[in-house]
């Protein structure tokens, strides 16, 4: 089975498993989506949602966070990992959005990735889930699964993104990104499947007997 055949098999299983999919991070608008994705670095979506459910009803625009200031933002997000660094990024990017973009989130990769605390993965999520632009955000989980499923050689997330974009149709990228994340959490867990028990692994590699080792991103 070559990688294109694997891609079709994987897509079929994912569409059967998750015919409809929701963005796991709760948000009120594109700006709060950007903030939630930024907060989710080294943190679970559940934890982010638990924290932001008390923030977004009242604070949901860049001017709200500028008015709050760094120290108050820190207090609001203190239950999230590396909260001081994230608070600084939120405060500074909010100022930039007001001064340079009239309080709106820019809708290009280049502009997003210039914002404090916003890397390519965060920008990809905002572009795909916030603006509907075809993108394939790659986090460590998708990187691991792509290796297990034989879709990439696992050198780094840049290579993984390039490989997945080549294998899967562009129109499916936004949905696939979420489907793979959910499938990994539920069926192809890092310390459970090991590449030999879930439906995708057994379909792509029916003769695989030994657990597969994956390279870190």
Residue 186's pLDDT is 96
Determine whether domain 3-21+136-204 maps to CATH 1.20.1580.10: no
Model pLDDT, residue 28: 97
The dihedral over CA atoms of 54, 58, 64, 70, expressed in degrees to the nearest 10, equals: -20
Report CA-CA distances (Å) from 122 to 14, 54, 108, 170: 23, 22, 12, 19
Residue 214 is predicted with a pLDDT of 86
With a threshold of 0.85, does the pTM exceed it?
yes
Would you state the pLDDT for residue 98? 98
Residue 100 pLDDT: 98
Which CATH number describes the domain made up of 30-130?
1.10.340.30
> What pLDDT is recorded for position 209?
93
Please report how many Cα atoms fall inside a 13 Å half-sphere around the Cα of residue 27, on the Cβ side. 22
The DSSP call for residue 131 is T
Say what the pLDDT of residue 217 is.
74
pLDDT in tens, the chain (217 residues): 899 999 999 999 999 999 999 999 999 999 999 999 999 998 999 999 999 999 999 999 999 999 999 999 999 999 999 999 999 999 999 999 999 999 999 999 999 999 999 999 999 999 999 999 999 999 888 999 999 999 998 789 999 999 999 999 999 999 999 999 999 999 999 889 999 999 999 999 999 999 988 888 7
Q: Where are the domains of the chain?
A: 3-21+136-204, 30-130
């Amino acid at each position: 089975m070559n990688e294109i055949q694997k891609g079709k098999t994987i897509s079929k299983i994912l569409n059967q498993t998750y015919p409809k999919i929701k963005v796991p991070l709760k948000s009120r608008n594109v700006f709060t989506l950007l903030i939630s994705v930024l907060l989710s670095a080294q943190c679970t979506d559940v934890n982010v949602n638990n924290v932001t459910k008390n923030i977004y009803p009242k604070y949901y625009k860049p001017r709200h966070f500028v008015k709050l200031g760094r120290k108050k933002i820190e207090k609001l997000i203190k239950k999230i990992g590396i909260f001081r660094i994230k608070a600084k990024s939120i405060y500074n990017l909010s100022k930039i959005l007001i001064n340079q973009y009239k309080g709106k989130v820019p809708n290009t990769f280049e502009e997003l990735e210039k914002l404090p605390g916003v890397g390519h993965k965060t920008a990809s999520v905002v572009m795909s889930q916030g603006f509907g632009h075809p993108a394939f955000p790659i986090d460590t989980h998708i990187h691991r699964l792509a290796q297990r499923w034989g879709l990439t050689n696992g050198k780094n997330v840049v290579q993984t993104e390039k490989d997945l974009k080549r294998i899967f149709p562009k129109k499916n990228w936004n949905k696939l990104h979420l489907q793979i994340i959910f499938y990994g959490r539920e069926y192809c867990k890092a310390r459970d499947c090991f590449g030999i028990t879930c439906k995708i692994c057994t379909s792509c590699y029916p003769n695989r007997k030994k657990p597969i080792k994956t390279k870190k991103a």
